[in-house]
Amino acid sequence: MLVEAVAIGLLVYQLFFYFATRKQLKLVASHFVGPKPHPLWGNLGEFFQKDIPGLFETVVGFHERYGPDIFTWSLFNMTMINVTSAENVEKVIMAKHAQKSFIYDFLKPWLGEGLLISNGEKWFQRRRIITPTFHFKVLEHFVTVFDKETNVMVENLKKHVDGKEFDMYDYITLMALDSICETSMGTAVNAQKDPTNKYVQSVKRMSVLILLQTVSMLSGFPFLYSLIHPNGWKQRKVTKALHRFTDSIIKSRRKTLENEKLRQIDSNRDEDNVNSKKKMTFLDLLLNVHVEGKPLSDLDIREEVDTFMFEGHDTTTSGIAFVVYQLALNQPIQERIYDEIVSILGKNSKSYVLTYQDLQEFRYLEAVIKESMRLFPPVPFIGRKLMDDLEMNGTTIKAGQDFLIPIYVVHRNPKVYPDPERFDPDRFSETAESKRGPYDYIPFSAGSRNCIGQRYALLEMKTTLIKLISNYKILPGESLGKLRVKTDLVLRPDKGIPVKIIARA
């Protein structure tokens, strides 16, 4: 009875706050086009009876219905302004005072307030701490990990040579997880040898649960959702499992470092220092750093490790998988990459141990990756909350407004990319790139809150694709067909990436 009374009291309070702010939100929306909202639950009805890919298609479809640049839509009291023109994208991304939008709040139970979600001084402090992890001297060591783990994947794929179609997505996921665990935590989880790995399954489940929460009738009431919704109960259970995994790794690594008697990393992280510490993992850095004379707490460290683990394996999996999809459909492009591999590495490319320097030579492969991320950006939407008033299209938008930048749509602007659905790596030749603005292509976001791990991601993607194409010719499976995509936290193929492979001579 007490729990019910508390729940009712909270609901009454939330409803009062809801209606008190509704008028202001309706005033903002009146200046722009968009789907007409219901007085109570906004545009939630647009998402009823849609499968998960249908949810993504609905949001993208808004742009086709209401114009290519700017419109509004809402879920309950959460009004979102979507912008896609380079001019308005720049205004939002480069705003001096901005925070992540409310859509990131759904991640907080899992990721806490790590680098992805935190704001203000905490974000600035964490960004400064973490930046040395991506120094090129550290990345040189990471490439050897990518090479090793991709070799494991190549070996695991041998059973499919000349066989039936299979889903490549699962193999890439496990490889990326092994890579991120070793590079970020110095720990081998051997996910490729154990496809039922609990961490992988928990991340997949969490991604779906967060998506379902965003379109729930209780999406605007997170405490109540967690308290009374069955999916809220499941989410708490999965979150605990994910935290247990990370906590155990942190505890084990802390003990290892204590046994090795490693000292605090010098606050002067110049190049020589980074070079001397190049085998130190992301977790090692967090365990050794001090802020204002104090070490980070286990909770602080877990926030960053969970964030790094999620962003470092899920997004790269998406990026690699969609390149494989494009290469299966575009055989001449795949063969051109193979020719580039042979020209740079020679005929022994199958067993070649790749280095950081080698990867800088693959210009055409990089163009292929960029074009794939244009069509299928791993993070298809980013959100911002502006903390200052902003003029947009002749209207003053008050501070506190949330914006959504649908990168998936930005990258399909026909004025910038003629015939935008066509896969054409030549769009990323040096000549073609020089003709575009900085906000026409933003797969890693832009501005001060751009993706800190973008060089890491590109190196892993290059390594994986070089090893794959050196060893196998990738063919489309019979069920590849027209791809439907979905997004929970990252962009994914709805039914995986069904391909066939044959061994290269």
Enumerate the β-bridge partners of residue 406.
Answer: 381
Which tens digit of pLDDT belongs to each residue from 4-61?
777 677 667 666 665 665 666 666 767 777 787 777 777 777 888 888 888 889 888 8
Which tens digit of pLDDT belongs to each residue from 93-123?
998 888 888 778 888 899 998 888 888 888 8
Residue 176 identity: A
Single out the residue of 76, 115, 52, 158 nearest to residue 486, CA to CA.
Answer: 52
Which tens digit of pLDDT belongs to each residue from 214-272?
777 777 677 788 888 998 899 999 999 999 988 988 888 888 877 775 444 444 445 45
SS (H, E, C) 266-330: CCCCCHHHHHHCCCCCHHHHHHHCEECCEECCHHHHHHHHHHHHHHHHHHHHHHHHHHHHHHHHC
Residue 45 has what pLDDT?
A: 78
d(CA 360, CA 366): 9
Identify whether the C-beta of residue 257 lies closer than 8 Å to the C-beta of residue 284: yes
Residue 33 has what pLDDT?
A: 79
**What is the average per-residue pLDDT within 363-377?**
97
Q: Backbone phi, then psi, for 335, in 5-degree steps?
A: -70, -30
Domains and CATH numbers, the chain: 2-503 (1.10.630.10)
Residue 268 has what pLDDT?
A: 47
- Residue 2: in which H helix or E strand, if any? helix 2-29
Higher pLDDT, 342 or 121: 342
Higher pLDDT, 203 or 379: 379
Please say if the pLDDT value at position 79 is more than 90: no
Which tens digit of pLDDT belongs to each residue from 7-20?
677 667 666 665 66
Residue 477: HSE in the Cβ half-sphere, 13 Å Cα cutoff: 21
Higher pLDDT, 287 or 263: 287
**What is the average per-residue pLDDT within 337-341?**
97
Strand 70-75 to strand 290-291: parallel, antiparallel, or no bridges (unpaired)? unpaired
Residue 262 has what pLDDT?
A: 46
The tokens describing 480, both together, are 């590849």
Single out the residue of 302, 288, 356 nearest to residue 142, CA to CA.
Answer: 356
Provide the percentage of residues in the chain whose pLDDT is more than 90: 41
**What is the average per-residue pLDDT within 361-370?**
97
Q: Backbone phi, then psi, for 485, in 5-degree steps?
A: -115, 160
d(CA 180, CA 194): 16
